[in-house]
């Protein structure tokens, strides 16, 4: 119904954080790799939104979300956002954290090997 709104909201927030951090010149590895998270969130949210449009749950006219027109369905929609939407956003963020840590470990492992090769 509207689970895609949670990762979309996170994508908006992380995009703003990335832009502010880039302007300040942050050296934090997670800030530098936040573009990966943004791409994952925006892409996933776009696919989820398309799926909801495809199934007629999102319309181009008010109230846009068909479940918002009926209080019973609105409660179900909010429940879906709190369960499925939050779970998806958390899983994407955890996957990104693992990706950043693995990438950092690989780059640290390559650095000493490159120094030995030059010596």
Task: Express each pLDDT in 50-95 by its tens digit.
Answer: 999 999 999 888 888 988 888 899 999 999 999 999 999 999 999 9
Q: What would the pLDDT profile of 69-79 be if each residue is shown by its tens digit?
A: 888 999 999 99
- Please report, for residues 12, 77, 100, the alpha-carbon distance to residue 58 in angstroms, rounded to integers and kept in the order given: 20, 12, 34
107 CA to centre of own chain: 24
Tell me the whole-structure pTM to 2 decimals: 0.84
Residue 15: per-residue pLDDT: 96
């Amino acid at each position: 119904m509207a689970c895609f709104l949670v990762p979309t909201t996170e994508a908006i927030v992380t995009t703003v954080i990335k832009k502010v951090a880039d302007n300040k010149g942050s050296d934090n590895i997670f800030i530098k790799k936040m573009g990966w998270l943004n791409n994952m969130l925006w892409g996933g949210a776009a696919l989820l939104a398309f799926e909801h449009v495809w199934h007629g749950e999102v319309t181009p006219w008010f109230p846009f979300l068909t479940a918002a027109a009926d209080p019973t369905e609105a409660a179900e929609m909010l429940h879906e956002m709190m369960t499925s939407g939050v779970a998806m956003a958390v899983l994407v963020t955890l996957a990104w954290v693992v990706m950043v840590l693995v990438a950092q470990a690989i780059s640290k492992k390559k650095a000493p090997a490159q120094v030995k090769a030059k010596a």
